[in-house]
Amino acid sequence: MDDVLAYLEAGRERFLRELMDWLRIPSISSAPEHRADVRRCAEVLAAHLRRIGLHRVEVLPTDGHPVVYAEWLGAPGRPTALVYGHYDVQPVDPLELWETPPFEPQVRDGLLFARGAVDDKGQVYLHCAVLEAYLATRGALPVNVKLLIEGEEEIGSPHLDAFIAAHRDRLAADVAVISDTPMYSAEHPSLCYGLRGLAYLEVEVEGPRSDLHSGSWGGVVANPALALARMLAALKDADERVMVPGFYDAVRPLTDADRAALAALPYDETAVAAELGVPCLVGERGYSPLERVWARPTLDVNGLWGGYSGPGAKTIIPARAGAKLSCRLVPDQDPDTIGRLVADYLRQVAPPGVRVTVRQLHGGRPVLTPLDTPALQAAQRAVERGFGKPPVFIREGGSIPFVATLVEQLRVPSVLLGVGLPDERTHAPNEFFHLVNFYRGMRAVAYLWDELSRLG
Ligand code: BES
Ligand code: ZN
């Protein structure tokens, strides 16, 4: 491995520069005004992949943002790995809270600041560096590799299912490798074997045709904002349990072994609360924080609007109010079923005098990889060699909807070898990436191809 590792070592500065150039492209998938930037971001990646020697590099259209595909299949008889990641990023608001502009990457004290630095361009780019290192030093990889880097992960991958149906043959693989998750801590290189799923809803409560004078009409007309508040308050009880009938029916209970494994990881509740700036942690009674985030479903309000919120007072009954809601799901909950149950419940608890519309925006299924999956064990050895320390096995509370599709539809087991850290402010102002893990991640992935090639 010395040749490949030496190449990665010698290339450090250039890899960082190239990543920074890529980060300058504002590939915000949710923003229509950035459509051309998203496309350019895909094309820049494709050009890079061609340059480093990958084959059949294409920017493939979808009904939304394009998918970048590339392959190197020169190792017949060896396993084929599918590297999945995303080149799109989350919006940057509130912009005024960024210390340096989100698309002008800057390194400060070994941290690379930019939107997408760790989620997910930095982690995608480290894979590119490893492929380059093998191809430049040996002219070959020890395994076959396919890359699928999409541009709509941050908006729920709405067009990926159709894409897969159209390109199923290209995506056949023995294992998928995904670097889009945080490690447990800086001291704990990690392999993630579970992700939560997601059901995302938008609810709208409509009352009178237009805003009304609250003096003339207060007392005879239902107030949509108050009606919505009642409906939302009915979603959870004082123990933080979701009150929607049937919500927990499909939840796989935690086994004693699961609980013991989670309890073995250090967790300082007071320190976490202090770090987040909250008085204390809260959550479903009877479960530890890690159990609640990794292995129990939740329901959250993501946004809430209605009526007047400008300076001073305005005496109205608003015509409408609304909220965005999401449930994080665990095996074996189904996003469509849960979405329907929550929607039905909201309609049922709505007070009289208002009209309620609930829409399901997107969803994703949860995943859980069995710990005895051979590729996961190969990854365990690779992380140990790359980081000089064996990984801990973790689950995560976040979602990557395509992973369940890979596992369930394409029958490809997934290795989640992410090298982010929980403090890196993903989706928030001042996102950054600890550069030390950018480089350690390259080493681990270089060893991963070596380890996987031995699986035959
Ligand atoms: N990288 C994250 C997924 C993630 C975050 C995994 C935290 C584990 C811990 C990914 O880019 C993401 O943010 N996914 C969205 C998916 C959604 C838009 C369907 C998420 O989890 O909110
Ligand atoms: Zn994200």
- Which is it for strands 190-195 and 392-395: parallel, antiparallel or unpaired? parallel
List of residues 6+ apart from 112 with CB closer than 8 A: 16, 19, 20, 105, 106, 122, 432, 433, 435, 438
Distance CA 393, CA 376 (A): 10
Q: Ligand 1 pocket, 416 CB below 6 A? A: no
Nearest to 164 by CA among 446, 431, 406: 406
CB atoms within 10 A of CB 398: 17
Residue with tokens 């086994």: 255
Helix-helix angle 35-51:2-23, to 10 degrees: 160
CA 238 remoteness from chain centre: 29
The CA 183 to ligand 2 mean position distance, Å, reads 15
List of residues 6+ apart from 396 with CB closer than 8 A: 181, 182, 192, 194, 195, 196, 293, 294, 416
Spell out which residues have Cβ within 5 A of ligand 2, the ion.
119
For the chain, which domains are there? 2-195+366-453 (3.40.630.10), 197-251+297-364 (3.30.70.360)
The CA 315 to ligand 1 mean position distance, Å, reads 40
Tokens of 416: 């989640």
Maximal C-alpha separation, the chain: 81
Q: What is the dihedral of CA 439, 443, 448, 449, to 10 degrees?
A: 100
Point out the ligand 1 atom lying closest to the alpha carbon of residue 396: 8
Question: DSSP secondary structure string, 204-226?
Answer: EEE-SSS-EEHHHHTTTS--HHH
Amino acid at 323: A
What's the pLDDT score for residue 409? 87
Q: Ligand 1 pocket, 181 CB below 6 A? A: yes
Query: pLDDT tens per residue, the chain (456 residues)?
Result: 999 999 999 999 999 999 999 999 999 999 999 999 999 999 999 999 999 999 999 999 999 999 999 999 999 999 999 999 999 999 999 999 999 999 999 999 999 999 999 999 999 999 999 999 999 999 999 999 999 999 999 999 999 989 999 999 899 999 999 999 999 999 999 999 999 999 999 999 999 999 999 999 999 999 999 999 999 999 999 999 999 999 999 999 999 999 999 999 999 999 999 999 999 999 999 999 999 999 999 999 999 999 999 999 999 999 999 999 999 999 999 999 999 999 999 999 999 999 999 999 989 999 999 999 999 999 999 999 999 999 999 999 999 999 999 999 889 999 999 999 999 999 999 999 999 999 999 999 999 999 999 997
What's the pLDDT score for residue 362? 87
Nearest to 395 by CA among 299, 297, 291: 291
Distance CA 214, CA 137 (A): 75
What's the pLDDT score for residue 323? 98
First to last CA, the chain: 19
List of residues 6+ apart from 51 with CB closer than 8 A: none
Distance CA 407, CA 424 (A): 28
Answer for the pair 170, 280: CB distance below 8 angstroms, yes or no. no
User: Which ligand is closest in space to the CA of residue 335?
Assistant: 1
Q: Ligand 1 pocket, 37 CB below 6 A? A: no
Q: pLDDT tens digits, residue range 372-410? A: 999 999 999 999 999 999 999 999 999 999 999 999 988
The CA 398 to ligand 1 mean position distance, Å, reads 5
List of residues 6+ apart from 220 with CB closer than 8 A: none
pTM greater than the 0.85 cutoff = yes
Distance CA 74, CA 215 (A): 77
